[in-house]
C-alpha cells in the first residue's frame, strides 16, 4: 500500500449528496489507516468524519496497508507493529462516539509455510481479541506498467506449496485469508479454494478487473472474461467477495481526472451490471459491500459511494440488504 494515495476535499465537495436510507445498519469490512511519510494522513478521526457523514456505519474492519511496521524484531515479525497500532486505534474507537473498529486483518508472509504459525499466534496476542486473519496480496500482471501489490509477489504464488502450507496454519486457527489479485488471476484463487475447502477466503474488490496498461480500452472484453471466471469461483462455497474497490484508478474509469467527481448515479451506471452479476453468482450470504477507504476516496466521497450501493440494491428485500450491508461482513469477520 505504498502508493501515494491523495484526495482533494474541495473537489469531492462538488458532488455532495445526502445519504439515502440513512438508518440501514452497515459494517464496513475494508478500510485502511495510515500516517506514513509521503502519504495523505488517514487516522481514526478521518475515518469517523467519513463514516459519520450520514450513513449508519456501526462497525468497521481494518485491512493491512504496511502501517507502523516494527524494526526491532525479526523480519517475519515486523508486521506485528501494524496489528498493535490498529488495536490501539480500535480501543480508542470503543471509547468515543461513532463507528467502532471491530476487526483487524494484517499481513503475515504465507511463504513462511508452517513457520507462519507462531507469527500468526503473535498477531492474535497483539490484536486485543480483534485479529481476524491476514491479507497476503498477490496482485501481479505481466504488463510492467501495471503496478504489482505491495508484497512484491511472484507469478503463481497461490499455487506454491509453501504458500499453501502457510494458509493451512491460518485455517487451523480459524482465521481468514483476504485475497487481493487482478482479474487474470481469478482462476488461481479458484484452484486454491478447491484445494483448501477448509480455508475461508475473501476475494477483495470484485476480483480486480483491470482497466490500465494492456487492459486499457478493453472493458467489454475484460468484463466478459471476468464474468466467466467470477461465475466459476462462485461455485466454491468457501469464497466470499467484497463488493467495492470501484473507485480505484487501476480499474481505468478515470474518475479522478474529471472536472467534478462522479455522482452516485454515475457509479450506478458504470457498476450496477458487474455488482448485480456478482451478487447473483455468490448470493447475498457471501457478498459484502466495502468502502476501500481512503483508497477509493481519490474518486468519490464516502456518502456518494454508499448511496450508489444502496441504489443498486433498491429492489432487494430487507433481508437481502441486511446481509449485503451488515450481516455477511459481521459473520465472516466475527463482528459482535
Query: Is 57 part of a structural domain of the chain?
Result: yes
Q: Which residues fall within 8 angstroms of residue 94, CB to CB, at 6 or more apart?
A: 100
In a domain, 10, yes or no: no
Question: Can you give the pTM of this predicted structure?
Answer: 0.97
Report the distance separating Cα 308 and Cα 271, nearest Å: 9
**Cα end-to-end span (Å), the chain:** 28
Q: Which of 321, 313, 237, 333 is nearest to 281 (CA)?
A: 237
- The radius of gyration of the chain from alpha carbons, rounded to an integer in Å, stands at 18
In-domain check, residue 61: yes
How much is the pLDDT for 2? Answer: 42
What residues have CB less than 8 Å from 72, skipping those under 6 apart? none
What total of structural domains would you count in the chain? 1
Average predicted confidence (pLDDT) for the chain: 96
Angstrom distance (rounded) from CA 286 to CA 10: 36
The answer to whether residue 6 sits within a structural domain is no
- Assigned C-alpha cell, 99: 463507528
Q: Residue 17: inside a domain, yes or no?
A: no
**Residue 121 forms part of a structural domain:** yes
Peptide bond into 294 cis (omega under 30): yes
Give residue for cell 507469527.
119
pLDDT digits (tens, 9 = 90+) for 42-88: 999 999 999 999 999 999 999 999 999 999 999 999 999 999 999 99
Residue 20 to residue 3: CA distance in whole angstroms: 32
- Domain interval for residue 229: 22-332
Tens digits of per-residue pLDDT, 123-174? Answer: 999 999 999 999 999 999 999 999 999 999 999 999 999 999 999 999 999 9
Encode pLDDT of 173-225 as tens digits. 999 999 999 999 999 999 999 999 999 999 999 999 999 999 999 999 999 99
Vertex 245 angle, CA 247 and 116, to 5°: 140
What are the start-end ranges of the E strands in the chain? 25-31, 56-63, 100-106, 131-135, 176-179, 201-203, 239-243, 287-289
CATH number at residue 82: 3.20.20.140
- Is residue 3 domain-resident? no
DSSP alpha helices (H): ranges in 214-334?
Answer: 219-233, 264-282, 302-312, 318-322, 328-332
**Within-domain flag for 236:** yes
Amino acid at each position: 500500500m505504498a502508493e501515494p494515495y491523495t484526495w482533494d476535499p474541495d473537489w469531492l465537495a462538488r458532488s455532495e449528496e445526502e445519504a439515502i436510507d440513512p438508518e440501514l445498519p452497515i459494517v464496513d469490512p475494508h478500510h485502511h489507516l495510515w500516517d506514513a511519510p509521503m502519504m495523505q494522513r488517514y487516522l481514526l478521526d478521518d475515518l469517523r468524519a467519513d463514516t459519520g457523514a450520514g450513513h449508519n456505519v456501526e462497525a468497521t474492519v481494518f485491512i493491512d496497508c504496511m502501517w507502523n511496521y516494527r524494526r526491532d524484531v525479526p523480519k517475519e515479525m515486523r508486521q506485528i507493529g501494524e496489528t498493535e497500532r490498529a488495536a490501539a486505534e480500535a480501543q480508542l474507537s470503543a471509547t468515543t462516539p461513532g463507528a467502532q473498529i471491530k476487526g483487524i486483518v494484517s499481513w503475515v508472509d504465507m511463504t513462511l509455510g508452517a513457520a507462519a504459525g507462531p507469527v500468526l499466534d503473535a498477531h492474535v496476542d497483539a490484536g486485543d481479541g480483534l485479529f481476524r486473519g491476514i491479507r497476503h496480496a498477490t496482485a501481479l500482471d505481466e504488463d510492467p506498467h501495471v503496478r504489482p501489490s505491495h508484497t512484491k509477489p511472484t507469478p503463481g504464488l497461490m499455487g506454491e506449496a509453501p504458500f499453501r502450507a502457510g494458509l493451512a496454519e491460518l485455517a487451523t486457527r480459524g482465521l481468514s485469508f483476504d485475497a487481493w489479485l487482478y482479474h487474470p488471476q481469478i482462476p488461481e484463487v479458484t484452484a486454491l479454494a478447491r484445494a483448501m475447502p477448509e480455508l475461508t477466503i475473501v476475494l477483495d474488490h470484485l476480483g480486480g478487473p483491470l482497466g490500465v496498461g494492456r487492459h486499457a480500452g478493453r472493458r467489454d472484453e475484460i468484463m466478459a472474461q471476468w464474468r466467466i471466471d467470477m461465475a466459476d469461483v462462485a461455485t466454491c462455497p468457501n469464497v466470499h467477495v467484497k463488493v467495492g474497490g470501484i473507485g480505484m484508478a487501476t480499474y481505468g474509469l478515470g474518475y479522478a481526472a474529471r472536472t467534478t467527481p462522479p455522482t452516485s448515479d454515475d457509479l450506478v451506471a458504470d457498476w450496477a451490471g458487474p455488482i448485480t452479476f456478482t451478487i447473483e453468482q455468490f448470493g447475498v450470504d457471501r457478498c459484502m459491500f466495502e468502502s476501500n477507504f481512503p483508497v477509493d476516496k481519490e474518486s468519490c466521497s464516502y456518502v456518494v459511494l454508499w448511496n450508489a450501493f444502496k441504489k443498486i440494491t433498491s429492489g432487494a428485500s430487507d433481508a437481502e440488504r441486511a446481509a449485503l450491508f451488515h450481516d455477511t461482513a459481521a459473520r465472516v469477520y466475527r463482528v459482535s
